[in-house]
Amino acid sequence: MRPIQDHRHLLLRRRFLQLSGLASIGFLLDGCGSPLFEDLVYKASQPLNQSVEALLLNPQKLIPEFPASAIEPDALLINTFNFTPKIDHSTFRLSVNGAVNRPLSLSMADIQKSSLTSMTIRHVCVEGWAAIVQWGGVRLRDIIASAQPKANVRYVYFQSADGYYESWDIASALHPQTLLAYQKNGHPLSIDNGAPLRLASPIKLGYKQSKWITKITLVEHLLPAKTGYWEDQGYEWFAGL
């Protein structure tokens, strides 16, 4: 009886060692900063994740705002993919075109004629940091409405002066807290933060909130390999919060 018992224990020990080996192979695969099929993982999980994100987005629900005392003036880091364009505010025009009945070309004076909307929200960066910021500007939905979009519009493209480009789902673009901002923390927007005009919204990650916007194009379909500067490198497109 005894030797059999010992033999069994030996076998168990061997399997335990095999198991540890398996676990460490798993860990090796896990490790080494390996991209390890990240593109496949994205392709497989993105449809589910995006439909859940779109479902979670309540297009009319206002995201609670913060009191002015909660503003974190130093927390908003500056991220730029290429360079900081210098734009002459006096000659600046924002064009709104695409699937609209009334294409627009607006000066800063035109834009600032509309009533100012102010909001103090949490700006969340994909990198993991966040900052409570006050943004002032005009509701994007008002600009889009005055261009009289066609019924088939489903997406919005944003072109920036530095070559950055982004695309949004129309529901997020029409959210009442999605602004074309020209004011930050009570002051005119600085050039580093996207002056004269940038996107600001509590419902999208920072990389969706283009700076130095010069052109807004309403479309029915997204261009396949051109959905946004970072998205085309592999970042998630919806990026809803």
Partner 1 sequence: MDSSAARKSRSQPTQALPAKIFHWVNITSLLLMIGSGLQIYNANPVFGGRGGWHFPPFFLLGGWLAGGRHWHFAAMWFFALNLLWYGVYIFITRRWQRRFLGANDIKALQVSQNPKRRNYAWHRFVYTAIIPILLLAIFTGLGMYKPAQFHWIVDIFGSWQALRIVHFITVPTVIIFAVIHSLLSLKVGGSCLIESMFW
Among 197, 96, 221, 214, which residue's Cα sits nearest to residue 149?
Answer: 96
Contact 173, 183 (CB under 8 A): no
C-alpha distances in Å from residue 217, one per residue of 44, 180, 185: 30, 14, 28
The Cα 30–Cα 193 span in angstroms is 38
Q: Which is nearer to partner 1, 111 or 241 (CB)?
A: 241
Q: Which is nearer to partner 1, 44 or 68 (CB)?
A: 44
Nearest distance from C-beta of residue 241 to partner 1, angstroms: 4
Backbone angles phi, psi at 155, to 5 degrees: -140, 160
Nearest distance from C-beta of residue 234 to partner 1, angstroms: 5
Nearest distance from C-beta of residue 182 to partner 1, angstroms: 22
Nearest distance from C-beta of residue 108 to partner 1, angstroms: 29
Residues that bind partner 1 (CB under 8 A): 9, 12-13, 15-16, 19, 26-27, 30-36, 38-39, 41-42, 44-46, 48-49, 53, 56-58, 63-64, 77, 122, 124-130, 202-203, 230, 233-236, 240-241
Q: Which is nearer to partner 1, 92 or 175 (CB)?
A: 175
User: What one-character DSSP code corresponds to residue 28?
Assistant: H
Contact 136, 181 (CB under 8 A): yes
CA 33 to chain CA mean position, Å: 24
Q: Which is nearer to partner 1, 9 or 102 (CB)?
A: 9
Nearest distance from C-beta of residue 98 to partner 1, angstroms: 27
Please confirm whether the linkage preceding 196 is cis (ω < 30° from 0). yes
Q: Which is nearer to partner 1, 98 or 228 (CB)?
A: 228
